[in-house]
Structure 1
Amino acid sequence: MTNILKKQLLKLRTQIIYFESDLIEALKKDLNKSEHETLISELYPVYKELKFFIKNSRKITKMRSLKTLSNNLLSHKGHFYKPHGEVLIFSTWNYPFNLALNPFIGAFAMGNKISMSLHPFTPNTNEVISKILKPFDNVEVLTLKTIEEILDYKKWDFIFFTGGELTGEKIRTKAYELKIPYCLELGGKSPVIVTESANLKLAAEQILYGKILNSGQTCVAPDYLIVHESVKDAFDKIIQKEIKNNKLDIMHLDSNISKIINIQTFDNLVKEIDKDTSNISNDPLKQKISLCYLNKEHLNSNFEQKEIMGPVVYTKTYKNWEDISKIISSNPNPLIIYLFSENKIDFQRVKTLNSGNLMINATIDLVADSKLAFGGYKNSGYGKYHGWASVELFSFKTAYLKVKRDIYMKFKKYPYTAKKLGILRKYLNIIK
């Protein structure tokens, strides 16, 4: 017999499938996302997360009632997972479907009442999401405009936020005021380490894939490269060849390339790029910029000071791991560190660096794996979600102990005597 949760999740999947073509069209209008990118980065992660919760729906339903740890003659104990209650989810503009539905699935599966705040930069996608969620009870898509209005709309029990650090601080302050749990999915400057043992062609392909996706407007996009000095020249030739062969130097002409979200962001990117190079093509009318690979140690732009939300990547060199540590620690803790290496010692070294996540010999795809808990560290975020991490995040784990018979009560209770103390000491020695 199909449980109620599974029926609801299957209904959600049916809704998404029904509106899939509308969603593809909406993302094209909002971000000029190609169908190719929409399938990879918007639909695939959501379907994968849904599949996880559908597959585990019976187990999750049991966890919401009682998960027994032990049951014997003396006691019955375990945990059960209660919904937080009123959950507020803020999504953002760069992946407006994925970053709205992915946390929604976890919150929905755990039985919460959910209010969705969708980003105003993507009105067409928001309209489709509203249609997808319309048949479900205890789900509301908010039409409030300001952060302050939204935060004061209800007495929230949990807040989930994806976006920038400044707004994230407002969420943190409100959560502290309400004394409630929260999750912040922020961003940061995600470095790519290319060691002397790396497969340089693989590294170049993966870096460019991560930087071109959504025109670099991705919270886990490669931000800057840290390349070993012994392979710097060889790597530079390979990545330049990849750029030329794939016409990334004129990718602004390609109708399949996502646009920069708005003209202000476009103008700011072009202004900063022009401080370091005059060889990058762009199209102001379509808000597109071709890939900008800055092969220079010292930049005149401000790209080294903040996260780059665009198709720009720059390079630094290193001699040893101490150099790497200094370079990375000069910025706030990244959301992810990428390592390209075939050396097992490098795998151990990179684990000592602080970041929310770590990916080796590939880029981006970690964020679409429902078996992995994804989230930031300090400046790059607080809290983890996806799969079982979402089960924990969107519920309150309550301990349960039913005592059938307390055989130690006569030794614990007052009055305290030497005999009782002796027995308690013997018991303590047994459990030491």
Structure 2
Amino acid sequence: MIAQSTSAPAVQPAFDGLRAAFLRDGGLTLDQRRGALKALRRSLIDHADAYVAAIDADFRGRSRHETLLTEVVVVLSAIDDTLPRLKRWAAAKKIRLGFPFWPAAGEIRPQPRGVAGIVAPSNYPLQLTLMPLIGALSAGCRTLIKPSELTPRTADLIASHLGKTFDPSVVAVVTGDAEVARAVTELPLDLLLFTGSSRVGAVVAQAAARQMTPVILELGGKSPVVIDRSADLDMAAQSIMAGKLINAGQTCVAPDYVLVPRESKDALIAALRRAAASLYPQPENGDYSAIGSDRALSRQHDLEKNQRVISLFDLAVAAPRHTPKVIDAPSPDSAVMQEEIFGPLLPVIAYDDIEEATATIRGLPSALVIYWFGGVNDRLDALISRTQSGAVSINETVLYAGISALPFGGIGPSGWGRYHGKAGFDSFSHERVLFRQPRWNIAKMMRPPFGTHADGILKLLLRNK
């Protein structure tokens, strides 16, 4: 059984069950962690087709291939990356202590933080639920999960799937509206991971702070593409369009706008149109996904109003899909440049030198990732040193976010904390310090009443080296 609800009161019993289990039995042992991850892997494969159907229904049209690749395969790959490394990650680490602490010994022992919470979003409703869960289980945490209410069929399937896979003392799922999510964020959790908008993330951080709950916030942002003069425009356009149009742009690491040398802007736009046509020669055949809600679709129309737009498809697509478009040189203070787009609109802006490009990035909302197309050169070094982002990806978009071995997370308004792979294990673990002092030790000589031994040790400590 699992804790399902359409109201907030069911949250507390689910949490209480997890907390009682942690107080009684502690976190999961290494063998239990391995078993949990293997069970999750097997059950996810068994439920893959059901997730394809549920996500397709929730989105009103979601590519089967996109769901399998971005929601299922990414999670399976993360489990496969974790399992053979977990024993090493969980091993205690000896710390050598020098003079004057010798012969004392130090050790760092990773332990489960306790009861973790995961509040997941709707754009990748399965992946962004299970990827954090992999980190929590690998660290041995017991976990409370709140899937997004905006994808209700998927949320119900997650609840059913995980309820069949795990005992509720290990993983509990609560479903319901925003009030249920709020109730989760107000619990005295040992760690909370929230994925969503910066606006809601600020509210979550405030709620967690009242309980002194540490948080990982994955908040997205405006991720720029910088085209260098050394770039192959056709190669860049293919990667940009692949990253922008997967899930119809509803991806936190999707390219949000493009900075291109002024003399190459027209050629790049032409290359973007060719790339879009080659990727989606028949966009109504199911490969090109829909926008997840009428509200989100209406927002895309609002963002492109009064802008110079260039369609990336020869023919417009029907709602709830949205025709992808280039927005030519929008004003920096326009909504499309001040908000994360989260859809298939792509502003293209000309620049004259790398100083102008970096100044543009610094003047806009925080970037989760910066994409660079071109050679590894002094201009790339300038970009990296003069800007901030969670990651920099060179000559590729989006792909890095699905690689479990690479830590994932933002900086500043684009997020706090990291997960995926070892970073996820570390975030859901507490590095507990053990210090051992033998009966005979130098430290005793530094206690009062002070004498010649203390003077000699101080002389050694204060010497110039």
Q: 2:404 aligns with which of 365, 370, 376?
A: 370
Deviations 1:324-355 (A, max 9, x none): 12110111220000000124223322221111
Rate the CA distance shift 1:165–1:319 in 2: closer, same or farther, 3 A: same
Which residues in structure 2 correspond to 1:144-293 (within 5 Å)? 144-145=176-177, 146=179, 147-152=181-186, 154-246=187-279, 251=283, 253-277=284-308, 280=311, 286-293=319-326
Q: Distance in 2 between matches of 1:129 and 1:246?
A: 31
Are residue 409 (structure 1) and residue 443 (structure 2) matched?
A: yes
Task: Report the CA distance between 1:283 and its aligned residue.
Answer: 5.3
Alpha-carbon contact 1:159-1:171 (below 8 Å) kept: no
Alpha-carbon contact 2:331-2:337 (below 8 Å) kept: no
Counterpart residue number, 2:16: none
Rate the CA distance shift 1:331–1:83 in 2: closer, same or farther, 3 A: same
Are residue 50 (structure 1) and residue 84 (structure 2) matched?
A: no
Q: What fraction of aligned residue pairs are identical, expressed as a percent?
A: 27
Task: Report the CA distance between 1:157 and its aligned residue.
Answer: 1.5
**Structure 2 regions of 5+ residues with no counterpart?**
1-29
Are residue 90 (structure 1) and residue 119 (structure 2) matched?
A: yes
Task: Report the CA distance between 1:278 and its aligned residue.
Answer: 7.0
Structure 1 counterpart SS, 2:58: helix
Task: Report the CA distance between 1:102 and its aligned residue.
Answer: 0.1
Structure 2 counterpart SS, 1:196: coil
Structure 2 counterpart SS, 1:129: helix
Q: Report the AA paired with residue 313 of structure 1.
A: L
Rate the CA distance shift 1:71–1:226 in 2: closer, same or farther, 3 A: closer
Task: Report the CA distance between 1:74 and its aligned residue.
Answer: 2.8
Structure 2 counterpart SS, 1:367: helix
Alpha-carbon contact 1:12-1:132 (below 8 Å) kept: no
Structure 1 counterpart SS, 2:347: strand
Rate the CA distance shift 1:421–1:309 in 2: closer, same or farther, 3 A: same
Structure 2 counterpart SS, 1:114: strand
Counterpart residue number, 2:352: 319
What TM-score do the two structures reach when normalised by structure 1? Answer: 0.91
Q: Report the AA paired with residue 378 of structure 1.
A: G
Rate the CA distance shift 1:149–1:294 in 2: closer, same or farther, 3 A: same
Aligned residues: 423
Structure 2 counterpart SS, 1:209: helix
Task: Report the CA distance between 1:300 and its aligned residue.
Answer: 9.5
Alpha-carbon contact 2:330-2:337 (below 8 Å) kept: no
Are residue 67 (structure 1) and residue 101 (structure 2) matched?
A: no
Counterpart residue number, 2:9: none
Structure 2 counterpart SS, 1:293: strand
Q: Distance in 2 between matches of 1:373 and 1:184?
A: 14
Rate the CA distance shift 1:132–1:59 in 2: closer, same or farther, 3 A: farther
Q: CA RMSD in A?
A: 2.3
Comparing 405-414 with 303-312, greater Cα deviation is found at 405-414
Comparing 346-355 with 106-115, greater Cα deviation is found at 346-355
**Structure 1 regions of 5+ residues with no counterpart?**
none
Task: Report the CA distance between 1:70 and its aligned residue.
Answer: 4.6
Q: Distance in 1 between matches of 2:54 and 2:436?
A: 53
Alpha-carbon contact 1:42-1:97 (below 8 Å) kept: yes
Deviations 1:152-211 (A, max 9, x none): 4x3211110000112111121122211221100001111000011001111100110011
Counterpart residue number, 1:140: 172
Q: Report the AA paired with residue 292 of structure 1.
A: K
Comparing 69-78 with 225-234, greater Cα deviation is found at 69-78
Alpha-carbon contact 1:296-1:316 (below 8 Å) kept: yes
Rate the CA distance shift 1:298–1:170 in 2: closer, same or farther, 3 A: closer
Alpha-carbon contact 2:117-2:143 (below 8 Å) kept: yes
